[in-house]
């Protein structure tokens, strides 16, 4: 045999033996146990991260609920304060002003539900 052929056969045999050894190591029980243990540790870490994320989402939801509650309380207090000073005459005045600002050509005057007459205050001719 030629030396080049011997070298090629020898090199092929060495590579084949090396692949068999590495493949055998991956098929070994110890390696599989190690991989299963590493996977279990990874699952534990991932679960811990998911739990922390869930706790953060709960805290954020609680903070949003508190913000909405405080806003609603403020709106309620503002409405209560407005309701204390709101009179029917003031509401009529605001309605007429809004109609004027809207550019309406017809202005509606509020009427008394009992008599159907317009609710308009009058002044004496002498300014009294």
Segment 33-83, tens digit of pLDDT: 788 888 899 999 999 999 999 999 999 999 999 999 999 999 999 988 888
Which pLDDT score, from 0 to 100, does residue 108 have? Answer: 66
83 part of a folded domain: yes
* Distance in angstroms (rounded) separating the CA atoms of residues 21 and 126: 120
Domain that holds residue 46: 3-101
36 part of a folded domain: yes
128 part of a folded domain: no
46 part of a folded domain: yes
Average pLDDT, the chain: 81
120 part of a folded domain: no
Query: How many domains does the chain fold into?
Result: 1
* Distance in angstroms (rounded) separating the CA atoms of residues 97 and 120: 15
């Amino acid at each position: 045999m030629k030396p080049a052929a011997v070298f090629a056969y020898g090199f092929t045999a060495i590579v084949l033996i090396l692949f068999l050894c590495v493949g055998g190591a991956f098929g070994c029980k110890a390696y599989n146990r190690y991989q299963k243990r590493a996977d279990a540790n990874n699952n534990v870490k991932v679960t811990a991260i998911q739990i922390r994320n869930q706790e953060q989402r709960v805290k954020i939801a609680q903070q949003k609920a508190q913000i909405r509650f405080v806003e609603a309380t403020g709106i309620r207090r503002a409405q209560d304060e407005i309701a204390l000073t709101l009179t029917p005459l003031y509401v009529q005045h605001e309605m007429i002003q809004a109609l004027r600002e809207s550019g309406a050509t017809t202005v509606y005057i509020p009427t008394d539900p009992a008599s159907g007459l317009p609710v308009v205050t009058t002044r004496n001719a002498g300014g009294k």
